[in-house]
Structure 1
Amino acid sequence: MNFQQAKFFITVNDWQGLPPDNIVEVAFAGRSNAGKSSAINCLTQQRKLAFTSKTPGRTQHINYFSLGDDCFLVDLPGYGYAEVPLSVKLHWQKLLSQYLTYRDSLRALVVLMDIRHPLTPLDRQLLEWFEPTGKPLLILLTKADKLGRGGQTKVLQEVKEELKSLKLPYHVIPFSSHNRQGFDEVTELLHSFFKKDNEGNNLEKEG
């Protein structure tokens, strides 16, 4: 699978608008200032595939990017920053919880967290919704270039320690869209998630 061939497919605003559930999806989620769009652009090696903005929280839809063969990268709306009406926040909260809990075609979830501020209360809520599925989880500690190697190692170990109780397979990887740190490792894992024989679900739990 060539992530460089990713193309915009559809924008969705509600559950009814989601594509039929007979496809393979890997979703990206994270706080609005976690560098989610930059990470998607980096991993697909396309500068403008996912919308990036100097004002975090501008993207308030679910965006599907086709990889061919009924495989899709799914860009979930950023959370925790945008100044939007309460009704809009509640709408997205409900849709995200439904999607993470009940979307059969969702093969794995990639959660992006700023390495300087990981596991915020909203991040933990997201993991709480997703955990019962037992599907693979990949946490990207983004903006890793903002810390030295010692700082990265410290945060990585702290995050792993806090995630020990998770009842699903997971990986935690320091990642930087700026210098492509973690690029090869993340790309390899994404390929495993998309394998239709479900090998991605054999990802071992880190401990």
Structure 2
Amino acid sequence: MKITSSEYLASAVKPEQYPELVVPEVALVGRSNVGKSSFINTMINRKNLARTSGKPGKTQTLNFYLVNNSMIFTDVPGYGFAKVAKSHRQAWQKMIEEYLLKRENLKGVVQLIDIRHLPTNEDKEMFFWLLEKQIPVMVVLTKADKISKGKVQKHVSDICKQLNIPLSYPIVFSSETGLGREEAWEAILDFIQL
């Protein structure tokens, strides 16, 4: 995928704040420290359009990024890590569900899971919830550069068993090396059928 332009569009917590642009959108979900911002930056060949943070739970809004004037990546607040009040978390959950269930431009979800660990309960809940709601989802296993090449297949296999998906399903990804970038673009373009 050749990237000709990318820009931050908006942050939103409610539908009236969503961008009015009618182009396909792909949402990115995952734990707070799974590397969603790094994924976006790698996919669009930019160092820090999406801001990365060492402090999990930093993203508290839906952040919209326009790519090639033809599609949007929506960075969704991370789950499972943020040290915030329960009431705050419930508000996030409502905001995320509303976006994922009601946004007409949404074509699919990229769920990011850290390849080094088995899926958490939140990972599994999110994955099975998306399936139940019939929202197209692809799984991307991030931080592949953090484990030895010889262990990748075992980690993939263990994660696939937990999610009950075929071994060929997830995309192994590294924002450090660019591994999996082309495969991820192929899958995303399939979603949005550009």
> Shared fold (TM-score greater than 0.5)?
yes
- Contact (CA 8 Å) 2:6, 2:69: kept in 1 or not? no
The residue identity in structure 2 corresponding to 1:5 is S
Partner of 2:98: 98
- Partners of 2:182 and 2:165 lie apart in 1 by 27
Superposition CA RMSD, Å: 2.2
Q: Which residues of structure 1 form unaligned runs of 5+? A: 197-207
Compared CA separation, residues 100 and 171, structure 1 to 2 (3 A): farther
Identify which range, 171-180 or 79-88, moves more after superposition.
Answer: 79-88
Partner of 1:138: 138
- Partners of 2:135 and 2:24 lie apart in 1 by 13
Q: Secondary structure at the match of 1:159?
A: helix
1:112 aligned to 2:100? no
Compared CA separation, residues 165 and 175, structure 1 to 2 (3 A): closer
- Partners of 1:19 and 1:31 lie apart in 2 by 24
Partner of 2:181: 183
Q: How does 1:78-97 map to 2 (within 5 A)?
A: 78-97=78-97
Identify which range, 121-130 or 29-38, moves more after superposition.
Answer: 121-130
TM-superposed CA distance for 1:123, in Å, is 1.0
State the aligned residue count: 193
Give the structure-2-normalised TM-score: 0.88
Compared CA separation, residues 120 and 21, structure 1 to 2 (3 A): farther
Runs of 4+ residues deviating >6 angstroms? none
- Partners of 2:4 and 2:33 lie apart in 1 by 24
- Contact (CA 8 Å) 1:21, 1:105: kept in 2 or not? no
- Contact (CA 8 Å) 2:9, 2:19: kept in 1 or not? no
- Partners of 2:87 and 2:98 lie apart in 1 by 17
170, 174, 182: which one pairs with 1:172?
Answer: 170
The percentage of counterpart residues that share the same residue type is 34
Compared CA separation, residues 165 and 144, structure 1 to 2 (3 A): closer
TM-superposed CA distance for 1:22, in Å, is 4.5
- Partners of 1:113 and 1:18 lie apart in 2 by 26
1:74 aligned to 2:77? no
Partner of 1:52: 52
Give the structure-1-normalised TM-score: 0.83
Partner of 1:13: 13
- Partners of 2:79 and 2:20 lie apart in 1 by 25
The residue identity in structure 1 corresponding to 2:105 is S
Q: CA-to-partner distance for each residue in 1:127-152, whole Å, 9 max, x for gaps? A: 23311343431111111111122321
